[in-house]
Amino acid sequence: MYQAFQYFADMTQPMRALAGFSEGAIKHWFPNDSIPSVQKLIAMYEQVELMGFTHHRTPFNIQSIKYSDGSLIPIEEEIVSTSEFCHLVRFKKVGHIAQPKVLLVAPMSGHFATLLAGTARTLLKDHDVYITDWINIRDIPLGAGVFDFDSYVEHIIHFLEILGPDSHLMGVCQPTVACLIATAVMSEDRSPYVPASVTLMAGPIDVRSNPTKVNDLANEKPLDWFSTQLISSVPTQFKGAGRKVYPGFIQISAFMNMNAKRHQESFRKLYEYRVKGENDKANAIRNFYQEYFAIMDLSAPFYLETIQKVFQDCELPLGKMCFRGRLINLRAIRKPFLLTVEGQRDDICGIGQTLAAQDLCGLLPSYKKAHHLQPGVGHYGVFNGSRWENQIYPVVRNLIQSSI
C-alpha cells in the first residue's frame, strides 16, 4: 500500500512542479496585470500545484514578534535538546527579558509540529515558548529503536526537566492524554519539575462524552483490523526502510473525507478569490493547505496503542492507564493550575471529552481549575485563527499568570 502511494506521488510530482513553475512564470511576465484570462490561468495552476501530499516539513517561519506599541522582537529558532525521535525547539527572543516558559506539545497525528506555528506565534507575545518538533518516523532508521505511547510520555517528562521548575505545559489535541499522564507521574514522584500550569486543548481525555465520527471509527473495528489493514512498511528508499508505520497519507485522507464538502468549498473559494484579485484571502487558504498537506507517518506501536488505550478501552478515565507498568494516579496531581479548552463545533473531540480532566484530577483544588468553551469554532479554531488569538489566548495567558 505504501509503495503504491509512493509510486503515484513520484509520478505526479513533476506535473505539480511544472504547474508551480508555470504559475511563477506567468506572474513574472504579468506582474501587475488584471486580465481575467491570465488570472484564471494562475488560479488553475495554483490548484494543480497544491493538490497532493508532501513529506517535506514546512518552516515555522516565525522571524519576529510585533507588540502593540509597534516594536519588533527578532526570533531565532534554537534546538535545545534532541533525541532520535524529536527536537525540542525554542523560539528565542533576541535580547528579551525572561518570561514564563511554556512547553507546547504538538500532536503526532499525521502533521508536522509546524501546524502549530500560529499557536506558538500568539503564545510568544507573553511567553518563552518551546515546542516538540517530532521527526517523521519514516526518516528514522530501525536501529534507533521503537517509539510507543510510553516513549511519548517520557519525552514530555524529559523536556519539562530541561525547561526547569515552574514551567508551563500545553497539549493540543492528541497529546493532552500524554500531558496529563506525565503530570501525574511527576506529581507522584514529587518531582521539582511538575509544571505550574497545564492547559489541555481539544483533546480526547474521555471519548465516551459526546462521541464523534472519529471515535466511532476507532471502535467499529477490533484492534487486529487496524494492525492488518492500516499498518505498512516504510519503502526501501527511505532511512526508516522496513519500519512499521501508520502512513500519514491515510490519516489525512480520512480527515479530509470526513469533511469533503468543506474542503471542496475551500478550494472553490481559493480559485474565486485568486480570479477576483482578493489575494490576501486566497493566500490564507493556500498557506493553510500547504501546511495541512505536509504529512508525517506515525510509528505503528504508538498508533495502535493510542487506538487501544485512548479510544477503545478508555483506560485513563477508567483508572486503568499504566506508564511503564505503573498504574497512573491522577489524584496525585495537586500543584498545577488546570485549564481545559473546547470548541463548540469540534467534530474531532466532542464537547466534554477534554473537560473530563477536571473531574479526574479529583484532589486538585477547585480554585486551580478553569474551563473555556469557545462558541463557533471547530477543532482547528481552538488553537489557530482569530478566535484563538483574540478570545481563547487571553484565557490561557491569564491562567498562566495566575499560577506564577
Structure confidence by residue, pLDDT tens digits, 218-233 = 999 999 999 999 999 9
Pairwise CA distance, residues 137 & 135, whole Å? 6
**CA dist 331 to 27, 139, 225, 318, 325, Å?**
60, 39, 35, 13, 18
pLDDT of the residue at 287: 81
β-pairing, 64-66 vs 86-93, is unpaired
Dump pLDDT digits (tens) for 334-379.
999 999 999 999 999 999 999 999 999 999 999 999 999 999 999 9
Confidence of residue 10 (pLDDT cuts 50, 70, 90): low
Reading the block at residue 203, the C-alpha cell is 483533546
Instruction: Give kind and range of the element (H or E) at residue 16.
Output: helix 2-29
Q: Are strands 86-93 and 72-82 parallel, antiparallel or unpaired?
A: antiparallel
**Per-residue pLDDT averaged across 119-143, rounded?**
96
Give the whole-angstrom CA distance, residue 5 versus residue 248: 11
Q: Which superfamily, per CATH, for 64-221+298-402?
A: Alpha/Beta hydrolase fold, catalytic domain (3.40.50.1820)
pLDDT at residue 36 is higher than 80: no
Burial class (CB in 10 A: 0-12, 13-18, 19+), 95: exposed
Q: What is the pLDDT of residue 3?
A: 67
Under a CB-based contact definition with an 8 Å cutoff, are residues 65 and 118 in contact?
Answer: no
Whether the model pTM is above 0.85: yes
Query: CATH 3.40.50.1820 region(s) of the chain?
Result: 64-221+298-402
How much is the average pLDDT of 93-99? 84
Share of the chain above pLDDT 70, in %: 96
Mean pLDDT, all residues of the chain: 90
Paired with 72 in beta bridges are 66
Residue 8 has what pLDDT?
Answer: 67
DSSP-H helix ranges across 221-310:
223-229, 248-258, 260-276, 279-292, 300-306
Q: Amino acid letter at 179?
A: C
Give the DSSP letter of residue 390: I
Question: 371-397: per-residue pLDDT in tens?
Answer: 999 999 999 999 999 999 999 999 999
CB 108 within 8 A of CB 147: no
Full strand arrangement of the beta sheet holding 128-134: 64-66, 72-82, 86-93, 128-134, 101-105, 168-172, 197-201, 337-343, 369-374
